[in-house]
Amino acid sequence: MLPFLADALSYVASFLTVSAIRADLRARRTEPAGSLWREVADGVR
C-alpha cells in the first residue's frame, strides 16, 4: 500500500509544481502563416 501512496503523492506534487508555472510558452509568429501545401512541398524538396 505504501508504494502506491508514494506514487500518488509524487503525481500530486508534479501536478502542483507544473501548474504553478506561469510563463507564456507559446511561440510568437514573426511572419504571416503560409500555405500548408507550399510548406509541405518545400519540406519534401
Q: How far apart are CA 32 and CA 12, in angstroms?
A: 40
Q: How far apart are CA 1 and CA 39, in angstroms?
A: 53
pLDDT score of 6: 96
C-alpha cell at 18: 507544473
* Interval 20-31: pLDDT, tens: 998 887 878 787
pLDDT score of 19: 93
Q: Give me the residues of the chain with pLDDT under 50, please.
A: none
List strand residue ranges (DSSP E) for 1-45, in order: none
pLDDT score of 20: 93
pLDDT score of 5: 96
pLDDT score of 12: 98
Q: How many domains does the chain have?
A: 1
- Owning domain of residue 14: 1-44
DSSP state of 26: S
Q: Whole-structure pTM over 0.85, yes or no?
A: no
